[in-house]
Structure 1
């Protein structure tokens, strides 16, 4: 059974959202930086500094825009505990995280910019036939951050920046409901969400060969108010699932504190090292409050009790010619999910990411970036059920090709 489940994974396609990073974080904010292991806190990343470190945006010398996208196709493999050993494979839709950044030099010291990007999301489809269907059939979580940003060069070597984040998105959750005897029902929860936060950073470059940065992206509480519910239940129990019921919910998108160092031993080589602490402990529970009693209760609640987690990154870029840059990187992402709290919505585990990329200058104003990221999450078994999860073994891998364009004006 193990060989079969692993073979399915290794021959499968990309994982969207839940395999990209711990929890439901998606670290795909720039094609150039993906190629460098998604480092960027301690170096000037061009227009993408809006995301990685707004303080470094003050060092951007030309006006410009960057647009990029990544294609994500995904699978997660599951094996039930013995003696059944039942296996399942998710059938997730194509995911397309994107990023857009624009910067403008207001004067020699002040730079303003706008970023639109997708740092969180998940899309998981287990279907309605697997043995964990009472925990989850499908889940879609979307979050788009809109971030106007200002950055000021305090001195020739020191910059500070801050951005205001307005997040929009939504959640759609579907699962089967166990009823009397062999009967089953189905519920779908669908609602839009919004929240606010900040993204701030400091950048310091004491010499031509070294630079350091510190950034803070705050927690954003995504709140759903009066979301829609749709029930499909036999007529004999339909009264327990009243039509027109709405729900409220709140999902925290955790804070991230990052420190980074850039090392430039030669004019051609840049090495970047980042360490991030993600505040996943903000995700204590998943709760839905209903406007009417549903199946005898006014709410549903499951514990999550995530832990804060660290991500360690390293990446490099080498200028092979005046037009061509080569990139490579790696990172190790610790899972925030404790034993006993593994769920089919985020069957998370410690992950290793390996990346590569190229940048090619087409003209004085136009350049292109291409990236490829491979992620392998450890196989993980959880036989307890503290959080409404589905006991068993989960395994995920991901491949993420992406492309981006940069234009200077």
Structure 2
């Protein structure tokens, strides 16, 4: 029974640090079109995420911005003649900012963003169902922010990140075909699956930044978003059987742990991010910006799950993750074609923190290249309609993972990932 508990729990939060594919970098339609640069750019209210110091660059007394993306992801697996692909729903990260000028050199605001969130569906009966079937996670970050400009050209900013979210994950407790030796008709059947879900308690972190205009052409900036620990204190589980007959058989055998009769507690780190960048304006119409984002995934060294003592005491789990710190390299350009229309292009390269020998299909991490384009159209001077499109290509990768259903062996294969992401936003200045 303990092995089955390990089977289901080993993946519960491992996907939460899906890194380059799970950390959502879609907090602005404008910046999505520029490779999501922004730490060294005067973005007004939208600076609250990228660099709080930039909040002082608001053009009016009140700066409002909101938008959403549709993330269409496709993931493929192959090991010899065995193939599988995900059937994912559309993920819809969103953002909203409201900035308020207090004095000429002092501004405050509040933002709501979704810095982490994903959906992944491999199907109930695929060959790796005992590792993962489907995942859905949502997170929200509310950030009150203040920014101050002590002298012309130099600004500082700070924000308090208040985060919460919820998670649901399903996986098979027994591998596909586990009951085949007893009945040939069951050789392609997943006998029993478990669905775990939980709501995270509020986690708190901070976001600080500095921005400096060297001259009219060059601006430099740096920001730091701290790690936030998300904790689930009373997660619950449901069991589902392929048939009533299989349910009676497995319940009589005593081999299926009563996960639906207890609760569990677990926590995971949302990693820190340090961004540093420079913006260059060769002409009044053209802006070029580049930056490097350092992501502190090494904080995710292991997953610890504690079950309720009265039902599942003694089945606590510690699973090694051993993620690596990574970098994201970004570059973007903006060209003001007319007073009403801006065009943007960008690109980024995103490293994966997942090690090849701890590569689970619920975290199909691989180095990724993103290509972006976007626009802003202002039908009236104060209103901007912003759009962007991002294509993400994951470089094919082979990975293996210790197979909990067959100790001493590994579940391995080749993985490919691609994604298409349109983003639309509106901003208005009073």
Pairs within 5 Å for 1:125-164: 125-164=121-160
* Contact 2:351–2:368 (Cα < 8 Å) also in 1: yes
Cα pair 2:358 2:400 within 8 Å, conserved: no
Alignment of 1:338-377 (within 5 A): 338-377=355-394
> Which residue is 1:10 aligned to?
none
Alignment RMSD (CA, Å): 2.2
The aligned residue for residue 70 of structure 2 is: 71
Matched, 1:229 2:198: no
In structure 1, what is the equivalent of residue 5 of structure 2? none
User: Structure 1 regions of 5+ residues with no counterpart?
Assistant: 1-16
State the SS of the aligned residue for 1:235. helix
Do 2:117 and 2:137's aligned partners in 1 also have CA atoms closer than 8 Å? Answer: yes
Classify 1:344/1:259 alpha carbon distance in 2 versus 1 (closer, same or farther; 3 Å): same
1:198 counterpart = 2:219: no
Which whole-Å CA distance do the structure 1 matches of 2:427 and 2:152 have between them? Answer: 25
Matched, 1:270 2:265: no
Question: 1:118: which partner in 2?
Answer: 114
> Aligned residue for 2:319?
302
CA distance in 2, matches of 1:296, 1:20: 29
1:60 aligns with 2:58: yes
- 1:246-276 Cα shifts (integer Å, max 9, x gaps): 1111111100000010101111111100101
Which secondary structure state, in structure 2, belongs to the residue aligned with residue 96 of structure 1?
Answer: coil
1:29 aligns with 2:36: no
Q: After superposition, where does 1:174-213 map in structure 2 within 5 Å? A: 174-178=170-174, 181-182=179-180, 184-193=191-200, 194-213=202-221
**Structure 1, 182-191 or 120-129: larger mean CA deviation:** 182-191
Which of 356, 379, 397 matches 2:396? 379
Give SS of 1:56's match.
Answer: helix
Matching residue within 62, 73, 90 for 1:94: 90
C-alpha contact (below 8 Å) 1:33/1:45 kept by paired residues: no
Q: Are 2:170 and 2:194, in contact at CA under 8 Å, matched by a contact in 1? A: yes
Deviations along 1:146-166, whole A, 9 cap, x unmatched?
001000111111100000011
Cα 1:208/1:25, change in 2 over 3 Å: same
- Residue equivalent to 1:7: none
Q: In 1, Cα distance between the equivalents of 2:416 and 2:50?
A: 30
**Distance change >3 Å, CA 199–CA 248, structure 1 → 2:** same
Change in 2 beyond 3 A, CA 1:18/1:198: closer
Structure 1 residue 299, shift from structure 2 partner: 2.5
Cα deviation digits, residues 310-330 of structure 1 (max 9, x gap): 010000000001111010000
Match of 2:164 among 168, 186, 209: 168
| In 2, Cα distance between equivalents of 1:225 and 1:323 | 51
| Mapped contact 1:304–1:387 kept (Cα < 8 A) | no
Task: Give the SS at the match of 1:371.
Answer: strand
Distance in 1 (CA, whole Å) between partners of 2:121 and 2:309 is 28
> Residue by residue, what CA displacement relative to the aligned partner does 1:178-198 show, whole Å, maximum 9, x if unpaired?
187447221111000131111
Give the CA deviation at 1:28.
0.5
Helix, strand or coil at the partner of 2:366: coil
CA contact (8 A) 1:61 1:105 kept: no
Matched, 1:408 2:408: no
Segment drifting more, 229-238 vs 103-112? 229-238
Tell me how many residue pairs correspond in the alignment. Answer: 390
1:41-56 counterparts in 2 under 5 A? 41-56=39-54
CA 1:339 to 1:293, structure 2 compared with 1: closer, same or farther past 3 Å?
Answer: farther
Query: Which residue in 2 is equivalent to 1:258?
Result: 275
Greater share of residues in helix:
2
SS in structure 2 of the partner of residue 55 of structure 1: helix
What secondary structure, in the 3-state scheme, does the structure 1 residue paired with 2:261 have?
A: coil
Q: 1:236: Cα distance to partner?
A: 4.2
